[in-house]
Structure 1
Amino acid sequence: MVFLTENKKKGFIGRSLDTIERVGNKLPHPVTLFALFAVLVIIFSWFFSTLGVTVEHPTQEGEILVVTNLLSAEGINYIFTSMVGNFTGFAPLGTVLVTMLGIGIAERSGLISGALRALVMSVPNQLITAALVFGGIMSSMAADAGYVVLTPLGAVLFAGLGRHPLAGLAAAFAGVSAGFSANLLLTSLDPLLGSLTQHAAEMYDPVYAETINYAMNYYFMIVSVFILTIVGTFVTDKIVEPRLGNYEGGITEKVEGLTSLEKKGLKGALVAFIITIAALALLIVPTWGPLRGPEGEIINSPFFASLVPVILIMFFVPGFVYGRITKSIKGDKDVAEQLSDTMATMGAYIVLAFAAGQFVAYFNETNLGMIMAVQGAEFLETTGFTGIPLILTFIVVAGFINLFIGSASAKWAIMAPVFVPMMMGLGYSPELTQLAYRIADSTTNVISPLMPYFAIVIAFAQKYDKKIGIGTLISTMLPYSIAFSIVWVIMLIVWLTLGIDLGPGSPILYTR
């Protein structure tokens, strides 16, 4: 047997996944989806305005929130005059583009690919599974590079060791995709989601929103890296690989080692990274550090408000040094071209940001988000459905939505304006709500056939067996999704029980 083949008679899970794929494929493109949502907000604003729907603002005593009608003369005026500002003011737009400048240099110079290869090739054979999972989790610092570098590399490594290549592919895919939110470093995902969370929190409590920083989930995600590495290794070695059986495909490959120039480049990049960290530390560690707060405080200091340029520098400098040593960067023209190429890949995101910016701005202007949040929180309070059951339900809902809409930012742009204020009304911090969302979004990536890189992973697997399809890959990845979900939920419950901060100055509970 080369690979497990899909059963002709599909069970409940198989039929459910087929339905998800069929329905998801019929959904409009995310850009179209946001445009439709923006139109619906305009229509709903007229409808609920004529009904006279109002609520009392939860944090500003005596203030009554009414629905602003965007089909009124003033509303139409707002739609036309705010369109450009809604786009340029869309919270994640600038943060994502700036961070991608640094990450783009690190990726296109070859640093990210070289570092991942060095990681998985430098460990003993008995630790290769753990290295693949760990490398996959850490690859999120380079956005989507792990999908195209580490996933096929995992299959090649396992095949070369006489192990089942699909098990290696699955281990790497689990780390890259199911563990996407975890990392030892701050990645582009942190400011991307954090800016949306902060913007949503401003609707409910502008003063509290100012205290939110992009590292709000950092402590939790650091611990998650090691826990998920252990869990991913266990699932691969004890569940997935035994289920696949012996590989008899006859394809064995040898991974090409790093060249002497690449090794020299990695050493240079490491030195550059250490020097960069030391230089940045001078801005925050000493009491006179210019990025400390007014009274020498670190939490809620200018440093945490400057994490986007910090991430840019941390990736740019080592990437540039690596490129110079390996000759992938010969001069300033190469730097400019690599930066331009990186921005060229962001075209789809910029278009999405335009449509999403209109939707989010309309949602805020009409007060529909706040009204839904206040009324939703009041309803949940009357039912007594709060605490851990509420958090778990939110994770399930967000995970289910992820099966149909793959983009993490697109989903959060829709969900944050409603759920962040709602959870604040129930006493839970925006930081906690974002963390619950990140858990749901990551763990279900590997079983979502609509995830953008799902088809690419199948193509990598078909190199070893042309019969493999969506059902085979999903059945292989399902144990990872379940195990990561269970472990992450247990971690979250422990955090909730002990009241540990989720990140620097990021509490679990919200207090006015």
Structure 2
Amino acid sequence: MTIASSPQQRGFLGAIERLGNKLPDPAIIFLWLILFLMLLSALGQVLGWTASLAYTGETAPQWGELKGGVLTYSATSLFSEENIARLLTEMPRTLTGFAPLGLVMTLILGAAVAERSGMFSALIRISLRNAPRVILTPIVAIIGMVSHHASDAAYVVFIPLAAILYASVGRHPLAGLAAAFAGVSGGFAGNVTPGQMDVLLFGFTQEAARIIDPAWTMNPLGNWWFILTIVVVFTPIIWYITDRVVEPRLGVWGGVPDEELKAELARSEVTPAERRGLRAAGFAELVIVSAFAALALWPEYTPLIDETQAGPARLQPFYAALVAGFFLLFLVTGIAFGRAVGTIKNSSDVVVMMQEGVRMLAPYLVFVFFAAHFVAMFNWSRLGPIFAIDGALVLQQMNVPAPLLLAGVQFVSSFLDLFIGSAAAKWSAMAPVVVPKFMLLGISPEMTTAAYRMGDSYTNIMTPLMSYFPLILAFARRYDKTLGVGSLLALMLPYALSFMVVGLTMTVTWVTFDLPLGPGAQVFYTPPVEAFK
């Protein structure tokens, strides 16, 4: 299939598209940020930028100086002999020590097997294929949000399949495409269970949180209740807008699927071998989950429980092991499925799939090289804690309420999403400033991350710069060859605006009522300091 390029648009959307097209690759953006950071750090040292706060700990955090109960950070030029030597001599360590890199590499090795064995595709197809016509839309919405675990398959397999299934039951295929696109991309922050994206984003959160609290460790389940609620709240919105707004506006579809579409509909059938494979994968999943439960609950043998701690802290080893748990879950279920359907015949096939997964990471590895150095150099310059402390002081004096602070993070995230599609790229740049600043104001890293994720989600379907937008446009043109960028954006705008309003309301509600974000994760945080100085 040839993916049509999006035509130039006029007006506001056209201005956004033209501006976004002029932006360089995220890796190059980080290179420019590094150069700007070096100049800013030199200016900070010359002007004597410092920030202080009262500190009750006996040992100063990294990069800080502790004297008389006062912790002080002073700007340091990145052009200094020490920092230039550190940059050049520790370059490999800076890259390999970047927390998100190891997390993503571990997960992708397992997820690549699950995807390339065909398990993800079969799961998506069997979930949709026999959906009743009446509840087809909510099923599409839920599967769309769950399909984030399947990575590219969510866009390449699920969205066109939803359009075909709508056509097969006499409904307008563009309504199915819109519902699926809204679930996959507009509901990007939502899911039933944590997965790869949670681990990736919390990796950046952890790096930022340690500016204030070196002992802070990420909990991959730290947004579980929040992302699950997104699924619960967004599903009826997608259902209503699709069935009551979008489909009536599209009118009755009088088209007949052509031979290519009929062939695709036939290929959407789940074969008997794939059904056997999914049963085998289900059994394998049960084994992995049972094994992890046993390691946490078995009497007198609990390697995933810290017996020296009390309360939620006892579960920290379990949370830390979830990355390995997701890896094993994807790997073992993928192998079980592949063996049953014949896509995996021996151990060499598994290794090849893992290698293909790593090759897929090549663009991410290039981006990580620059992002890792930006984050590290931000710490070397001491500008991170200085901005966090001074910014927190200003916000404290202004007495800005926590819901309004998090709403600001959400709006900044959604605005940047119009131009920069990568969630990791935006968060790696924002986290070193907003996470420590909000920690000093008593807002937890988990809550700040949740607000960012909400803002990063709904604007995906509002911008033609989203990396999959041309692909979705090509899918849509199979049913309406006159459809343009503006038409597709207009189709998705009711979803986006509804998600924006509801997402903001949800974030404010979460903070107002101090709801738990996930197991062991709260809205508020007690910083390891007495008071600002």
Range into which the TM-score falls when normalised by the shorter chain: over 0.9
How far the C-alpha of 1:43 sits from its partner, in A, is: 1.1
- Whether the aligned pair in 2 keeps the contact of 1:143 and 1:188 (CA below 8 Å) is no
Provide the residue aligned with 1:125 in structure 2: 133
How far the C-alpha of 1:480 sits from its partner, in A, is: 1.2
- Counterpart amino acid of 1:155? A
Verify: 1:220 aligned to 2:226, yes or no.
yes
Verify: 1:451 aligned to 2:466, yes or no.
yes
The CA deviation string for residues 282-327 of structure 1, in whole angstroms up to 9 with x for no partner, is: 1113353221112476644211111111100111111110000000
Provide the residue aligned with 2:21 in structure 1: 25
- DSSP-derived class of the 1:65 partner: strand
The CA deviation string for residues 217-246 of structure 1, in whole angstroms up to 9 with x for no partner, is: 011112222222222111111111112222
RMSD value over aligned CA atoms?
1.9
Provide the residue aligned with 1:90 in structure 2: 98
Map 1:43-442 onto structure 2 (within 5 A).
43-57=39-53, 59=55, 61-207=69-215, 209-210=216-217, 212-251=218-257, 253-254=261-262, 255-256=265-266, 257-288=269-300, 289-295=302-308, 299=313, 300-442=315-457
How far the C-alpha of 1:498 sits from its partner, in A, is: 2.2
Distance 2:152 2:438 in 1: 31
The answer to which of 55-64 and 331-340 deviates more is 55-64
- Counterpart amino acid of 1:379? V
List runs of 5+ in structure 2 lacking aligned partners.
1-5, 61-68, 528-533
- Counterpart amino acid of 2:204? L
- Counterpart amino acid of 2:376? A
Aligned match for 2:38, one of 39, 42, 58: 42
- Whether the aligned pair in 1 keeps the contact of 2:403 and 2:507 (CA below 8 Å) is no
How far the C-alpha of 1:384 sits from its partner, in A, is: 2.7
The CA deviation string for residues 139-171 of structure 1, in whole angstroms up to 9 with x for no partner, is: 011223200010100111111122111110111
- Whether the aligned pair in 2 keeps the contact of 1:190 and 1:214 (CA below 8 Å) is yes
Distance change (3 Å), C-alpha of 1:285 and 1:31: same
How far the C-alpha of 1:63 sits from its partner, in A, is: 2.2
- DSSP-derived class of the 1:18 partner: helix
The answer to which of 126-135 and 226-235 deviates more is 226-235
- Counterpart amino acid of 2:291? A
Distance 2:75 2:461 in 1: 40
How far the C-alpha of 1:31 sits from its partner, in A, is: 0.8
How far the C-alpha of 1:119 sits from its partner, in A, is: 0.4
Distance 2:379 2:470 in 1: 37
How far the C-alpha of 1:380 sits from its partner, in A, is: 1.8
Provide the residue aligned with 1:511 in structure 2: 526
- Counterpart amino acid of 1:268? A
Distance 1:383 1:186 in 2: 36
Distance 1:143 1:398 in 2: 21
How far the C-alpha of 1:58 sits from its partner, in A, is: 5.9
- Counterpart amino acid of 1:241? E
- Counterpart amino acid of 1:239? V
Provide the residue aligned with 2:12 in structure 1: 16
How far the C-alpha of 1:363 sits from its partner, in A, is: 0.6
- DSSP-derived class of the 1:284 partner: helix
Distance 2:96 2:54 in 1: 29
The answer to which of 260-269 and 106-115 deviates more is 260-269
The CA deviation string for residues 336-372 of structure 1, in whole angstroms up to 9 with x for no partner, is: 1111111110001011110111111111110112111
Aligned match for 1:477, one of 482, 489, 492: 492
The CA deviation string for residues 162-200 of structure 1, in whole angstroms up to 9 with x for no partner, is: 211111011111111111222222211111111111110
- DSSP-derived class of the 2:520 partner: coil
Distance 1:311 1:57 in 2: 40
The CA deviation string for residues 70-112 of structure 1, in whole angstroms up to 9 with x for no partner, is: 1122222122112111111112101001111111111100000
Provide the residue aligned with 1:3 in structure 2: none
Distance 1:58 1:167 in 2: 58
Distance 2:296 2:475 in 1: 45
The CA deviation string for residues 244-286 of structure 1, in whole angstroms up to 9 with x for no partner, is: 2222344364422111111111111112212221122111133
- DSSP-derived class of the 1:406 partner: coil
The CA deviation string for residues 445-489 of structure 1, in whole angstroms up to 9 with x for no partner, is: 111211111111111111112222221111111111122222233
- Counterpart amino acid of 2:180? A
Verify: 1:460 aligned to 2:462, yes or no.
no
Distance 1:398 1:16 in 2: 19
Distance 1:204 1:214 in 2: 20
Distance change (3 Å), C-alpha of 1:429 and 1:58: farther
Distance 1:226 1:510 in 2: 27
- DSSP-derived class of the 2:110 partner: helix
- DSSP-derived class of the 1:169 partner: helix
